[in-house]
Structures are given as C-alpha cells and as structure tokens.
Structure 1
C-alpha cells in the first residue's frame, strides 16, 4: 500500500515525501506544480501532475492501492486570501471536499490534513490550546477551518479517521540540503530575511510595530519543517494503529517577535540588511504561540530542531544552495 501526498512538490510536501521514502513507504505525489517543483520530489516517489480537485483523477489514483492521504495542496498566503477570498475557498475548501469524497468512495480511511493556527485568529489566551475558540481573521484561516469541519463530519458518518495538524509558523529547510522553501516572491518572514541577508532583496519589511507585544512587532511560534513532517509521520502511524481522529497543534510553545527573527538572521548570516517599517496587514494577529503538549503526549513527538538560530541557519544554507542552482532567482 502507498501514501498519497497532495502538494508533495511544494515546500512542506517535498520534505514529507523525503521523510516517508526514508521510512520505507511507497509514495505517490499529486501536484499541479503551480508553486511546487518536480526536482524537489524524492526520486523514489511517483509524481503525478494534476489538480487535487479533479474527481476523475482522484478516483483513478485512490483505487490503485492507496491506504492513506496526507493533504498539503492549497493556497497559503494570508494577505492574498483577503484580496482574493474565492481563490482560497476554491483551492482550499472545495478541493479538499472533492478529495475527502474520493477517499470515502474508494475506501481510503486515513487522512492527515495540513491545517493552520490561523483558525484561532487573535487568541484571547496565549499559548493557545486546541480547545480555544476559533475565530479566523482571514479567508485563509476560514477555508482551513471549513475543511476541519468537513473532516469531522465525515469521520462521524463513515469508516474514516483523520488527524488535522494546526501548524504555527513553518520555517527552515531539510538539514541535508535536499529541499527547502523555493517559491519565488515568498512572504514567509524567515525566507525573506534570508533573501535580504544574501542580497536577493533590497530590504525586509516589518508590517506593524505598534502591537501590544514586548517590542511592538508580531510574535509567532516558528517550527522547523523537518520536525513538522515528523509529526505527520507519527500521525500516520497513529491512524494505522487504529487511533481516533484528532486535531493537534504543531509548534514549540515559544514565541519570537519579528525583531528577534531579524536579529537572529543578522547574527547567523553575519550580514546586515535594510529594514523598512510599514503599516499592519489585514488578517495578521498580534501574537500566536502554541500550547503544544498534546502532540508530544499523543504522538510521542520529540522535536530535534527547536532553536531559532538553527532554523535560520538551515533556511540560509538552502537559500544559498538555491542561488547556485538557479542564479537568476
């Protein structure tokens, strides 16, 4: 039996594919390559180019010996979701519905979903636990929350179990240098800081300096991508062992401000870069940090890279490697 990884040519998905291949899994990747790269996919995996909302293609793939789905495919930029909400409800919600339906119709009973801390919005209590109220501030967060609801309703009605992992801020790159965040014009803070440190950008913008946080800038819980995908592998094992459906936070339980990330990037790179202060962006919360005890307790997850400087060092090394792979980028 094989695992279907949607969005497996993208940033997080490609790390997941390498993790599964190393664990001896057979892997099928479904990706339309709109933001992913075929060269990022581990050679031992089978890559199918197509859309996760294509019902006929899904039916063909899922009847071919797939026992679990790990679903990463979707759109992930908060400000873009505010400007173009219907894109997010199509790519994230409608396509996820099509995928869930295809799983039910083809007897695929295990589903791991890439969710987000954006479902919490601006949490009243920080660190925020899985039992906190959900009040998304953006269509991105709403689109993911709708998918969580669909999964829960499906699990109640069918022989179907899921794990939804609510990511906090994913960063870093494969410690072995095989893949990393490669999308042009990315908006992730650590990616942007690395590009600025290497001279790929003229400056780094800080969006909002008047938040009610220690230094006025937004605070986030940054999780290394390698630790995150290991949580997915453990979730897969949990479901295969008959585990119940769960929603779990994936973070370290420690927050860093934008200014702290900038300081770390300068320290790790040994390079200074220009910082421009700009107004707040719609959809951004002041502070989002995980209460992350449940994922450790229930899945036995033990992070290996929970250090900001380490996360940035791996991201910086990948950014440098990416420059040498394609000097024009």
Structure 2
C-alpha cells in the first residue's frame, strides 16, 4: 500500500489516478487545506490529517499497512513563501521531518518526494542537470532543497529508499474535474485575465532570449503523475539506501510569449494583444530541464505536447466557469 500525502490536491489527485491505473494500492492522507475530497476516487481510503501530526501519521501507516509514501503535501507559492517564511519552513521542512520520523518508527522505508526546479534558482545554463548548482531564491525553493538533504541523510542513516522528483512547470489536466483550481501559473493566469475581459500580462520582454521573454520547460500533469508511478515501481525493488534525484521535464524550452500565443489560439482569442509589464523579481531568463537521467534511471519520458496541456487546461477552466 502506498500512502499519498496531498492526494486530494491538483497534482496529488493525478498521482492517485496514475498509481491505481498502474496496479498499485493507494490511500490518501490530506489536511484539505487546499485539496478537495471530491478529487479522491470512490473506494480509495482517505484520512484527514496533517503531516505535522506524528501520532496520526503513525496510526495511519500502521492501520493501512503502508509500505511506501508519495509525499506531495506542502505549500508551494513562491511569493507567499517570501512573506511567510516561518510558515513555509514549518509546513514543508518540519512536516517532512515529522513524516520521516513516523516512517522510521513504523518500518516504512520507501519515499517518493515532490521537489521542485525552484531549488536551482537562476541557473545560467542552457539545460539544467541534476548537478547544476542549487541556489534557491525563495523560502519555498529553500524548503524543497532542505527536504532533499533531509531525505538523503535518512537514506544514509536508516536505509531509506527515496526518489526526489524536481518538477519543472506543471500544466494541463487529465480530466476537466481534476483541473488546477489555483490561479498561480501562467496558463490559468491568462484564462483569468481573458474571462475578466483584460489582456494577458507578460512580465518583461527584455531578457536575453530569442523573443525577449522568459523561457521555461512546461510539462503535463499526467506526465508528472506517470513519473511518480515509475519512481514508486523502481523503489519497490531498490536496494536499501538508494537515493535518486531526478528532473521531471520535457527537455524543451518554450517562451512566455509563445505560450501566451498558443493559449489565445486555444481560447479563440487571437485578436487580443498581450500587455507587457515590468519584470518580476527573481524570474530567471531560462530554466529548461535536462531530462536524460530520469530516462536512464526509470525508463520514463514525457508524452504530452504543449497544445495538449493547454487544451486540457482550457476544458477544465470552461467546466468550472460555465
């Protein structure tokens, strides 16, 4: 049995779907602070609880016969983390520490960890490899990097088998009902502006990139979910102390302007002209994954295209805002 923390959230619900379809037994542990019970499929065991509650974690691991954990629960907004660093360190670092203590006490020694490309900060390279220096720019990115350190230390000390997955820019949806309900990423931000009758914003067009806008590696949430399944399968047979750190991206860069143009086309709003505003502090010119290691280690590669991401996200947006 795999326990998926945060399994009622946007990414977590997709991981639940991928792992059940992949033949794994799963249960969900979520405090519902941002998730929704409606996202959890019927028949999947569900426990409402915080990762800061060690007693509840231990009881859940024991009662459900958990043998591995996919840890997705946590806070993920960069701007909010700058304003509330203590909150982010408590939720993301202390929460992970508490989970690891409960796992160690319960003899659960497999962990797939939701990390982030935010650990890299502003890398000055064409492709970001797992060896690229990590210089996070926000408490959120710091909390993910500290989490990786903590997991690697537990692997050395306690034989934990782990895989830390560094997500790049997640988009799309498997089905409309599982779509992202937040408006913090580029695609839903553009949708929100269009719905309000306003032009989408582009933050800066004077970067050293081909069209002057930031370049990012966008990846479909279904690909993210399948990467978790592949990591879990690998850990089921891995030696004690295995500690993998893997980028999860397509290995292809797309500029913000290119993405906005594609979004406008899908939304049938090609006549709208984006509004260019000042750069946002901390935005790197280019952050694109080198995706070789995950292919070599897990036999995994991304399947979905940019247009498939945008079209699936648009269907979800239209369903919620009909």
- Any residues of structure 2 matched to 1:109-188 within 5 Å, and which? 109-174=109-174, 176-183=175-182, 186-188=183-185
In structure 1, stretches of 5+ residues that fail to align are: 325-329
How far apart are the structure 1 equivalents of 2:58 and 2:91?
Answer: 18
Q: Once the two structures are superposed, what CA deviation does each residue of 1:187-226 show, in whole Å capped at 9, x if it has no partner?
A: 10012223334x1563432222222222222111000000
- Any residues of structure 2 matched to 1:263-278 within 5 Å, and which? 263-272=261-270, 273=272, 275-278=274-277
Among 192, 197, 203, the alignment partner of 1:195 is: 192
1:283 and 1:57, CA in 2 relative to 1: closer, same or farther beyond 3 A? farther
Tell me the TM-score normalised to structure 2 length.
0.94
Q: Aligned residue for 2:210? A: 214
How far apart are the structure 1 equivalents of 2:171 and 2:216?
Answer: 11
Q: Aligned residue for 1:83? A: 83
1:161 and 1:4, CA in 2 relative to 1: closer, same or farther beyond 3 A? same
How far apart are the structure 2 equivalents of 1:18 and 1:129?
Answer: 29
CA contact (8 A) 1:82 1:282 kept: no
Q: Aligned residue for 1:290? A: 289
Deviation, structure 1 residue 277: 2.5
Q: Once the two structures are superposed, what CA deviation does each residue of 1:251-310 show, in whole Å capped at 9, x if it has no partner?
A: 0111111111100001122124463333222332221000001111110113221x1111
- Any residues of structure 2 matched to 1:1-329 within 5 Å, and which? 2-64=1-63, 65-174=65-174, 176-183=175-182, 186-197=183-194, 199-200=195-196, 202-242=198-238, 244-272=242-270, 273=272, 275-305=274-304, 307-324=305-322
In structure 2, stretches of 5+ residues that fail to align are: none
How far apart are the structure 1 equivalents of 2:176 and 2:201?
Answer: 27
CA contact (8 A) 2:250 2:301 kept: no
Deviation, structure 1 residue 62: 1.3
Moved more, 264-273 or 51-60: 264-273
How far apart are the structure 1 equivalents of 2:177 and 2:19?
Answer: 14
1:201 and 1:222, CA in 2 relative to 1: closer, same or farther beyond 3 A? farther
Deviation, structure 1 residue 169: 0.3
Secondary structure of the structure 2 residue equivalent to 1:21:
helix
How far apart are the structure 2 equivalents of 1:201 and 1:226?
Answer: 30
1:39 and 1:134, CA in 2 relative to 1: closer, same or farther beyond 3 A? same
Tell me the TM-score normalised to structure 1 length.
0.92
Secondary structure of the structure 2 residue equivalent to 1:209:
coil
RMSD: 1.5
